[in-house]
């Protein structure tokens, strides 16, 4: 039986005592003190801080205990199944953490002379070549900090491409399928495009007729993930690419679901012009509770000139940073990317190698189809769309029948899963499935853990039909029971900081 820790841990502002301290700042040497005294006088009076910040005062031991306790009230991949669809919550190898903690990277400054950073430049250069090989693209930029950041860069490259052809004023629309990840339409808007949504067909794939009528000389491009968010491979990809390209648009690959096709098929070969890669999904770097990840993008030969500066070059002897790219879109962040994360992906690819990565793809797909097979037999569950086609990395379950039969919804099923010591799937996505549970097991979990998940789901179904209260009252075994999420966002009760809390209390 699962029982998450419950520490009733106060907010840190309520802990500690005046005068305690958690850290000693390095000394200022006596000789310096002699020449520079009364440091605050170096600042003009009107800009000296008058009220000290209301930070808590605690010893190191109290702080450590506080955050260790909090950590115990947090579920993670290293505890068990974490089947969030499209998030690829796979195992994060420990050797990569050890390597990334090295002072030989931690203590390196981004503006150091190139001669002094040849090691990390070689790692970044090689990683970008490997990612180009995996995605079938010509050149890769490692700079985006996350998948959505890569999408933003990709849509900016569409902009730059159409501008160079003097077509930007006409090419105002980006097309996304109705099953797309939310970041796709949001990225399109951020890059200044109008978003046009195309519907999925009865098989859950892009409706070719709808796409044909959506494209026009206003089309800047189409953003697509393949396999899509139902886990289904868009088998008409050749036709899709043809429709988009003939209309003068570019084809963008959302790499969230790349895990399933590693070594099997390359996005570049399928006709995609721009591809982003979620390093923290496919290449095993930890999600860190929501980041930092990394979202490199690869592009075709024709689009490489638009990538952000600097590019990493190699002349056969030395690696260097190249800023001389007149067509570059410029910068989307400072420096060169989330290097501390990219380093872990470099080690990951080395550990798996070419065959290992293909095995990752195969087993992730095997696991997803195994779950699909087992779950669809459970009462009240259904797998909508393309019932006879295999899924790739994920499958989407609908509990709509159960909801209509018993009043138990996807939300409550997911809360009951938590009670059993597993994380819930993504709920209510994609939007084209009613009462959706989107499940991605990845390659990282053993059959026994998958079977335990299936048994959990079977039990929840039985409970829903016999004793729905049990499901409706879940979770009971987590650190806390169901929260009032509406209250957290209501203007009257919204509390986004300790300051706002104190203000509301008065």
Partner 1 sequence: MTNSFPHPYIPNSIRKIKEEMMGEIGIESIEELYADVPQKFRLRRRLNLPDTQSEHNVRRFVEELLSRNDTCLDMPIFLGAGCWPHYVPAAVETIVQRTEFLTSYTPYQPEISQGLLQALFEYQSMICEITAMDAANSSMYDWASALGEAVRMASRLTHRNVALVPKILHPERLETLRTYSEPAGIRIEPIDYDSETGQLDIENLKEKLSGKTAAVYVENPTYLGFIETQVREISEETRDHGALFVVGVDPTSLGVLEPPGEYGADIVVGEGQPLGIPMNYGGPLLGIFACRDDLRLIRQMPGRVVGMTTTLKEGKTGFCMALQTREQHIRRERATSNICSNETLCSVAAVVYLALLGPKGLKELGETIMSKSHYAVQVLEKIDGVKAPVFKAPHFKEFTVNFGGTGRAVSEVHRGLLEHQVHGGKDISKEFPELGESALYCVTETHSKEDIDSLVSALEKVLGRES
Strand pairing class (297-299; 139-141): antiparallel
Element (H, E) at 175: strand 173-177
Determine the Cα–Cα distance for residues 199 and 207; give it in Å rounded to an integer.
6
Minimum CB–partner distance for residue 309 and partner 1 (Å) = 9
In the bound state with partner 1, the residue whose beta carbon lies nearer, of 82 and 453, is: 82
Minimum CB–partner distance for residue 498 and partner 1 (Å) = 4
Q: Cα dihedral sign for 222, 225, 231, 237?
A: positive
What count of other Cβ atoms lies within 10 Å of the Cβ of residue 94?
9
In the bound state with partner 1, the residue whose beta carbon lies nearer, of 269 and 404, is: 269
Alpha helices in 80-174 (DSSP H): 94-100, 103-106, 118-135, 147-164
The footprint of partner 1 on residues 282-321 (CB under 8 A) is 284, 286-293, 295
What distances in angstroms separate CA 148 from CA 14, 172, 438, one per listed residue? 37, 20, 20
Q: Which stretch binds partner 1 (CB under 8 A): 177-185, 246-254, 299-307, 397-405?
A: 177-185
Minimum CB–partner distance for residue 194 and partner 1 (Å) = 8
- By CB under 8 A, is residue 151 in contact with partner 1? yes
In angstroms, the first-to-last Cα distance of the chain is: 43
Element (H, E) at 439: strand 436-439
Binding residue for partner 1, selected from 89, 140, 457, 460, defined by CB under 8 A: 89
- By CB under 8 A, is residue 70 in contact with partner 1? yes
Q: Residue 438 in 3-state DSSP? A: strand
In the bound state with partner 1, the residue whose beta carbon lies nearer, of 259 and 461, is: 259
Minimum CB–partner distance for residue 210 and partner 1 (Å) = 17
What distances in angstroms separate CA 431 from CA 281, 415, 435, one per listed residue? 22, 20, 9
The footprint of partner 1 on residues 196-225 (CB under 8 A) is none
In the bound state with partner 1, the residue whose beta carbon lies nearer, of 69 and 405, is: 69
Minimum CB–partner distance for residue 383 and partner 1 (Å) = 13
- By CB under 8 A, is residue 393 in contact with partner 1? no
Minimum CB–partner distance for residue 379 and partner 1 (Å) = 18
The footprint of partner 1 on residues 90-119 (CB under 8 A) is 90-93, 95, 97-99, 101-113, 115-119
Q: Cα dihedral sign for 257, 259, 261, 263?
A: positive
- By CB under 8 A, is residue 379 in contact with partner 1? no
Determine the Cα–Cα distance for residues 140 and 503; give it in Å rounded to an integer.
49
In the bound state with partner 1, the residue whose beta carbon lies nearer, of 320 and 423, is: 423
Minimum CB–partner distance for residue 347 and partner 1 (Å) = 5
Q: Residue 17 in 3-state DSSP? A: coil
Minimum CB–partner distance for residue 352 and partner 1 (Å) = 6
Binding residue for partner 1, selected from 3, 17, 212, 264, defined by CB under 8 A: 264
- By CB under 8 A, is residue 122 in contact with partner 1? yes
Q: Interface mask (CB under 8 A) for partner 1, residues 128-147, using x and -?
A: --x--xx----------xxx
The footprint of partner 1 on residues 442-461 (CB under 8 A) is 443-447
Instruction: Please compute, for residue 172, the number of CA atoms within 13 A of its CA located in the half-sphere on the CB side.
Output: 3
Q: What is the DSSP letter of 220?
A: E
- By CB under 8 A, is residue 505 in contact with partner 1? no
**The two structure tokens encoding residue 499:** 């300051």
**Phi, psi for residue 301 in degrees, rounded to 5:** -50, -45
Using a 10 angstrom Cβ sphere, with 0-12 exposed, 13-18 middle and 19 or more buried, the burial of residue 134 is: buried
**The two structure tokens encoding residue 399:** 């509990």
- By CB under 8 A, is residue 468 in contact with partner 1? no
Minimum CB–partner distance for residue 285 and partner 1 (Å) = 10
- What does the chain come to in residues? 506
- By CB under 8 A, is residue 40 in contact with partner 1? yes
The footprint of partner 1 on residues 348-377 (CB under 8 A) is 349-360, 362-363, 365-367, 369-370, 373-374
Minimum CB–partner distance for residue 199 and partner 1 (Å) = 15
Q: Which stretch binds partner 1 (CB under 8 A): 263-271, 299-307, 400-408, 463-471?
A: 263-271
The footprint of partner 1 on residues 412-441 (CB under 8 A) is 414-415, 418, 423-424, 426-427, 429
Minimum CB–partner distance for residue 391 and partner 1 (Å) = 8
In the bound state with partner 1, the residue whose beta carbon lies nearer, of 20 and 452, is: 20
In the bound state with partner 1, the residue whose beta carbon lies nearer, of 210 and 332, is: 332
Q: Which residues of 397-420 are buried (b: 16+ CB within 10 A; e: fewer)?
A: bbbbebbeebebbbbbbbbbbbbb
Cis status of the peptide bond prior to 481, with omega within 30 of 0 = no
């Amino acid at each position: 039986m699962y029982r998450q820790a419950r520490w009733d841990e106060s907010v840190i502002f309520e802990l500690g005592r005046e005068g305690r301290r958690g850290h000693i700042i390095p000394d200022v040497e006596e000789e310096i003190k002699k020449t520079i005294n009364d440091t605050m006088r170096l600042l003009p009076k009107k800009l000296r801080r008058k009220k000290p910040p209301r930070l808590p005062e605690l010893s190191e031991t109290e702080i450590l205990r506080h955050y260790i306790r909090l950590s115990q009230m947090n579920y993670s991949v290293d505890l068990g199944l974490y089947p969030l669809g499209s998030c690829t919550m796979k195992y994060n190898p420990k050797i990569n953490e050890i390597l990334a903690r090295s002072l030989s990277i931690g203590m390196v400054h981004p503006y150091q002379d190139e001669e002094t950073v040849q090691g990390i430049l070689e790692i970044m250069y090689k990683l970008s070549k490997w990612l180009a090989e995996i995605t079938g693209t010509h050149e890769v930029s490692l700079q985006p900090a996350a998948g959505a950041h890569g999408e933003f860069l990709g849509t900016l490259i569409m902009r730059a491409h159409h501008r160079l052809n003097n077509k930007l004023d006409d090419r105002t629309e980006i097309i996304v399928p109705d099953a797309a990840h939310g970041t796709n339409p949001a990225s399109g808007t951020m890059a200044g495009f109008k978003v046009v949504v195309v519907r999925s067909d009865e098989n859950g794939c892009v409706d070719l007729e709808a796409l044909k009528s959506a494209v026009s000389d206003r089309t800047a491009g189409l953003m697509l993930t393949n396999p899509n968010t139902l886990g289904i491979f868009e088998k008409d990809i050749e036709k899709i690419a043809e429709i988009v390209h003939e209309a003068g648009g570019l084809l963008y690959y959302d790499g969230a679901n790349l895990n399933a096709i590693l070594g099997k098929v390359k996005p570049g070969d399928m006709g995609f012009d721009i591809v982003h890669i979620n390093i923290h999904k496919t290449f095993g770097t930890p999600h860190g509770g929501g980041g930092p990840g990394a979202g490199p993008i690869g592009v075709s030969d024709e689009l490489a000139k638009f990538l952000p500066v600097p590019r990493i070059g190699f002349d056969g002897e030395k690696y260097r940073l190249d800023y001389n790219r007149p067509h570059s879109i410029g910068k989307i962040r400072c420096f060169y990317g989330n290097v501390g994360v990219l380093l872990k992906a470099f080690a990951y690819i080395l550990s798996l190698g070419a065959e290992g990565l293909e095995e990752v793809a195969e087993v992730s797909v095997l696991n997803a189809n195994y779950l699909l097979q087992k779950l669809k037999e459970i009462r009240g569950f259904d797998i909508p769309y393309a019932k006879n086609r295999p899924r790739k990395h994920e499958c989407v379950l609908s509990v709509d029948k159960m909801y209509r039969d018993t009043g138990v919804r996807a939300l409550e099923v997911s809360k009951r899963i938590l009670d059993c010591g597993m994380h819930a799937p993504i709920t209510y996505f994609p939007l084209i499935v009613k009462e959706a549970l989107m499940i991605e097991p990845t390659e990282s979990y053993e059959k026994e853990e998958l079977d335990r998940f299936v048994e959990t789901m079977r039990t929840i179904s039985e409970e829903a039909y016999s004793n729905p209260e049990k499901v409706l009252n879940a979770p009971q075994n987590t650190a806390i029971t169901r929260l009032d999420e509406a209250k957290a966002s209501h203007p009257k009760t919204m509390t986004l900081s300790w300051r706002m809390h104190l203000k509301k209390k008065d």
